[in-house]
Amino acid sequence: MRAGSNVKLCTKVLIRNQHTYQGSGVSYMPPKPENGATHSSLSPAQQAYLERVIRVDQAGELGADLIYAGQYLALSHNKKVKPIIKHMWEQEIHHRSTFNKLQSEHRVRPSILTPLWKAGAFGLGFATGFMNKEAAMACTEAVETVIGKHYNSQLRVLSNNFADLKDSNDKFSNSKEIEHLKGTIKVFRDQELEHLNTAIQNDSKNARPYWLLTETIKTVCKSAVFVAERI
């Protein structure tokens, strides 16, 4: 694929990423589904937690989608790495699409900082890919390390029926929606960890400066998770 074709592909991706939430995302409110997926048995704390899960995971998968888009563009000349990135990118597109649907079904507003996540994620992916293959893989290793732990933390809370939350409803009984969400997170967590292993197998630890690069990206990701859950 020529460079021009890759630019067109990534331009289409950016357009696709823009059409879902235009502007700042502040005024967006998905329509309530006809058979509204509600959780009347949830306490306010539990409902708030579920909304945070969907909001932050949608923002995270949006970011992952665009990181790989940036890497794919920057490394389009590398015939060995390009199909590897494309495979991981396609999985992230599916992850994002799934959380977009959940966000709409449960009427969860997107993160107010969605435009920032878009610009930052694509920039991070392109910058590390532009450096070299090893830097791109170190970026993937750092991001997927944080996301894997993040998903595990969510699964612990959901699997314990919210027992770890303050003001939790002791009488809560699991629902099909919660079981489906747990199953979705488990599958996506496993795929993120596959991406982590793929990055290591493709020389992520040979990036220079490895420690500074990965620890900086981890810190940025942790901060983004914290903010996206709340804003």
Place of tokens 């997107």: 110
Q: Please tell me the least confidently modeled range out of 83-92, 121-130, 156-165.
A: 156-165
Give the annotated binding-site residues.
61, 92, 95, 144, 192, 195
Distance separating alpha carbons of residues 31 and 184, to the nearest angstrom: 23
**What pLDDT is recorded for position 164?**
60
Q: Is the full-model pTM beyond 0.85?
A: no
| CA 22 and chain centroid, separation | 19
Could you give the CA distance from residue 150 to residue 225 in angstroms, rounded to a whole number?
Answer: 8
Of 24-28, 151-155, 160-164, which gets the smallest average pLDDT? 24-28
Tokens of 18: 């823009």
Look at residue 161 and give its three-state secondary structure. Answer: coil
Whole-number pLDDT of residue 91: 96
The CATH label, of 1.20.1050, 1.10.3470, 3.40.50, 1.20.910, for the domain at 3-11+43-230 is 1.20.910
Annotated binding site for Fe cation: 61, 92, 95, 144, 192, 195
Backbone angles phi, psi at 161, to 5 degrees: 55, 40
